[in-house]
Structure 1
Amino acid sequence: MTEKNVAAERTLLKMEDYLDLFKKSQALLEGHFLLTSGKHSAQYMQCAQVLQYPERAAILAAGLAASFRDFEVQTVIGPAMGGILVAHEVAKALGVRALFTERENGIMRLRRGFTLAAGERVLVVEDVITTGGSVREVLAVVRELGAVPVGVGVLVDRSGGTVEFGLPQSSLLQLEIQAYEAEKCPLCAQGIPAIKPGSRKV
């Protein structure tokens, strides 16, 4: 089987197959977690656990890229840290370049000499979304530079499909993992300590 055919086969996976990859990688955690959004949850999807395996990362990226093959994407971009590997692998699957944004003094920016040209067609990707805040920040960066966001792709949509960006969007998994405002968190009420498994302080 050729490399092209292998990639085509990967795009045929069903949602339960993608979920199985996450479970095999122990990427779905149970406990009391403080999310990037500031909300609390009893479950946390740690995509880094599945993305640490290049073959699994390639399978996930091929499935996500399949939704945007006809969008004439020129660049794939994601927020650091979670979106870096996703952007790289999706860009590889689409045969385009990959960039990532970073926060500088709390503001999302393109750094390291990365640039976007006016009119450049950009696909924004992320590992997990709950409220979609980081994706919206990246979209703002893309638009400020005069580039054109053509879609949003995420590995895991924790909102159950309720978060929208006004663009074509696709996710491999849609999970309705309940999240609580800190002052209404039943886990806090039980005195269970919250941990922050992600990479960004709230």
Structure 2
Amino acid sequence: MQDLKGRLARLLIQKSYKEGDFTLTSGRKSDYYFDCKQTALHPEGAYLLGRLFLHLLHNEPVDAVAGMTLGADPLVTAVSLASYLACEGTLPDPAPAAPWPACIIRKQSKGHGTNQYLEGLANLPAGCRVALLEDVVTTGGTLVTSIQRVQDAGFTVSVVATVLDREEGGREHLERSGFSLKALFTRNELKALGLA
């Protein structure tokens, strides 16, 4: 797995990590920007993210994966596919008991039809345990909203995981809400592996 993590870090540095002067979604200023979608939408990036998240979550109680659109869309798809391939024996990774379906959380309700916040509900068993995925965590505000929407739909959030923890209060915000955060990388880890 360490080899896969190094490959992913190098790809993230190449495609998703930029240093400079940026304003983040939270309104905070930062000396770097992390756009994970550039890597998650790359074939090798999706493959690596799917496998590494599958490995990160393999000891957690998970029946499905979900994430807030748009940043988590390719993440939940990659992890769902990796879980299927592991169950089929195509990937050498630890396989879950059954493949994990994916669910996408809307920022606003659909506004028509069923007026729902979650897409993919037909694939999620009633009351299932959901791993909530995010591309980058800064303050944790988006994740707290996502958790609430998943719980309001009748599911349990069993674990929260991200590609990058910016270590700027998000982990602590989640802990105050009763959740812990698992991260593939912090900034220092990403730079150390990605620039090696």
Shared fold per TM-score greater than 0.5: yes
Which residue of structure 2 lines up, in the alignment, with residue 87 of structure 1?
76
Moved more, 51-60 or 149-158: 51-60
2:153 aligned residue (126, 135, 145): 145
Structure 1 contact 87–98 (Cα < 8 Å) conserved: yes
Say yes or no: does 1:169 pair with 2:181: yes
Letter in 1 for 2:10: D
Q: Deviation string for 1:86-144 (max 9, x for gaps)?
A: 11111222221111111227xxx624563655421100001011011111111111112
**Residue 66 and residue 35 in structure 1: after superposition, are their counterparts in 2 closer, same or farther (change >3 A)?**
same
Root-mean-square deviation (CA, aligned residues, Å) is 2.6
Is 1:76 paired with 2:69? no
**2:3 paired with 1:13:** yes
Please say which structure displays the higher CA radius of gyration. Answer: 1
Picking from 104, 107, 116, the partner of 1:103 is: 107
Amino acid at match of 2:150: V
Q: Percent identity, aligned pairs only?
A: 28
Runs of 4+ displaced beyond 6 Å: none
Distance 1:22 1:112, change over 3 A: closer
* Contact map agreement 1:74 1:97 (CA 8 A) in 2: yes
Q: String of CA shifts for 1:29-72, please: whole Å, max 9, x gaps.
A: 12221211111112101112212212222112211221211324
Q: Is there any run of 5+ residues in structure 2 with no aligned partner, and where?
A: 84-98, 110-115, 189-196
User: 2:191 matched to which residue of 1?
Assistant: none
Give yes or no for contact 2:102–2:120 (8 Å, CA) kept in 1: no
Describe the SS at the equivalent of 1:167: coil
Worse-superposed segment, 86-95 or 111-120: 111-120
* Conservation of the 8 A alpha-carbon contact between 2:139 and 2:168: no
Which protein has the bigger helix share? 2
Contact 1:21 1:56 in 2 (8 A): yes
Q: Any conservation in 2 of the 1:117–1:145 contact (CA below 8 Å)?
A: no
Provide the rounded CA distance (Å) in 1 between the counterparts of 2:168 and 2:3. Answer: 19
Could you tell me how far apart the structure 1 residues matched to 2:81 and 2:108 are?
27
Larger RCO (CA within 8 A; separation ≥ 6)? 1
> Equivalents in 2 of 1:112, 1:169: separation in Å?
24
TM-score, scaled relative to structure 2: 0.72
Letter in 2 for 1:97: P
For 1:111 and 1:162, the matched residues in 2 are separated by 23
Name the counterpart of 2:86. none
Decide whether aligned partners of structure 1 residues 113 and 50 sit closer, same or farther in structure 2, where only a CA change above 3 A counts. closer
